[in-house]
Structure 1
Amino acid sequence: MPVATMPPHRRVPELSVRPGGLRRVFHRLLVLVAAVAVGAGALAAPAYAEPSVDEIEAAIDKQWEQLEPTIEQYNKVRAQRKVNIKKAADLQKKITPLALQSELAMNRVADLVSRYYITGPSQEIGALLVNGKPTELGEQMLMLDRLAAQERSEVADVLAVRKKYDDQKKKLDDLIEAQAKQEADLAAKKKQIDAEIKRLQASLPKTTVKVTNCPTINGVVSEAARVAIRTACAQVGDPYVWGATGPNSFDCSGLTQYAYKAAGVSLTHFTGAQWNEGRAIPRSEARPGDLVFFFSDLHHVGLYLGNGMMVHAPRAGKPVNVSSISHMPVAGFRRPS
Structure 2
Amino acid sequence: MPVASMPPHRHVPGWSPARPGGARRFGRRLLTLVAAVVVGAGALTAPAYAEPSVDEIEAQIDKKWEQLEPTIEQYNKVRAQLKVNKQKSAELEKKIEPLALETELAMNRVGDLAARYYISGPSQDLGALLVSTKPGTLAEQLTMLDRLASEERRQLEGVLAVRAKYDGQKLKLDTLIVGQEKQTKELAAKKTQINTEIKQLQSSMPKTVVPAGGGCPTIQGVVSSAARTAIRTACAQVGDPYVWGATGPNSFDCSGLTQYAYKAAGISLTHFTGAQWNEGRAIPRSEARPGDLVFFFSDLHHVGLYLGNDKMVHAPRAGKPVNVSSINTMPVAGFRRPG
How far, CA to CA, are the matches of 1:177 and 1:154 in structure 2? 35
Residue 165 to residue 289, structure 1, CA distance change in 2 (3 Å): closer
Question: Secondary structure of 2:305's partner?
Answer: strand
Indicate the residue corresponding to 1:277 in structure 2: 279
Larger radius of gyration: 1
The one of 253, 257, 275 aligned to 2:259: 257
Q: Could you tell me which amino acid in structure 2 is paired with residue 160 of structure 1?
A: A
Superposed displacement of residue 55, structure 1:
2.9
How far, CA to CA, are the matches of 1:49 and 1:195 in structure 2? 25
Q: Could you tell me which amino acid in structure 2 is paired with residue 258 of structure 1?
A: Y
How far, CA to CA, are the matches of 2:33 and 2:276 in structure 1? 69
- 8 Å contact 2:99–2:159 — kept in the other structure? no
Percent identical: 79
Indicate the residue corresponding to 2:4 in structure 1: none
Residue 327 to residue 81, structure 1, CA distance change in 2 (3 Å): same
Superposed displacement of residue 276, structure 1:
1.0
Indicate the residue corresponding to 1:324 in structure 2: 326
Residue 223 to residue 100, structure 1, CA distance change in 2 (3 Å): same
Superposed displacement of residue 217, structure 1:
0.7
Indicate the residue corresponding to 1:235 in structure 2: 237
How far, CA to CA, are the matches of 2:278 and 2:116 in structure 1? 62
Deviations 1:269-314 (A, max 9, x none): 1111111111111111000000111111111111110111111111
Indicate the residue corresponding to 1:55 in structure 2: 56
Q: Could you tell me which amino acid in structure 2 is paired with residue 153 of structure 1?
A: R
- Does 2:156 match 1:163? no
Q: Could you tell me which amino acid in structure 1 is paired with residue 221 of structure 2?
A: G
Indicate the residue corresponding to 1:140 in structure 2: none
Aligned CA RMSD, in angstroms, stands at: 3.2
Deviations 1:4-43 (A, max 9, x none): xxxxxx999689xxxxxxxxxx9xx999977764442221
TM-score normalized by the length of structure 1:
0.77
Residue 285 to residue 45, structure 1, CA distance change in 2 (3 Å): same
Deviates further, 84-93 or 236-245: 84-93
- Does 2:121 match 1:114? no
Deviations 1:224-272 (A, max 9, x none): 1010000001111111111111000011111111000100111111111
Superposed displacement of residue 44, structure 1:
0.8
Runs of 4+ in 1 over 6 A off after TM superposition: 10-15, 29-35
Number of equivalenced pairs: 296
Residue 151 to residue 310, structure 1, CA distance change in 2 (3 Å): closer
Q: Could you tell me which amino acid in structure 2 is paired with residue 286 of structure 1?
A: A
- 8 Å contact 1:84–1:179 — kept in the other structure? no
Superposed displacement of residue 198, structure 1:
2.5
Deviations 1:42-94 (A, max 9, x none): 21123354433233223322222222111111111111111111111111111
How far, CA to CA, are the matches of 2:299 and 2:33 in structure 1? 60
Q: How does 1:9-158 map to 2 (within 5 A)?
A: 37-47=38-48, 49-118=50-119, 148-157=149-158
Deviates further, 244-253 or 155-164: 155-164
Gaps of 5+ in 1: 1-9, 16-25, 122-144
Question: Secondary structure of 1:317's partner?
Answer: coil
How far, CA to CA, are the matches of 1:112 and 1:30 in structure 2? 119
Question: Secondary structure of 2:117's partner?
Answer: helix
Superposed displacement of residue 162, structure 1:
4.4
How far, CA to CA, are the matches of 2:273 and 2:211 in structure 1? 26
Deviates further, 311-320 or 40-49: 40-49
The one of 214, 223, 226 aligned to 1:224: 226
- 8 Å contact 1:88–1:175 — kept in the other structure? no
How far, CA to CA, are the matches of 1:31 and 1:159 in structure 2? 102
Question: Secondary structure of 1:205's partner?
Answer: coil
Residue 50 to residue 156, structure 1, CA distance change in 2 (3 Å): closer
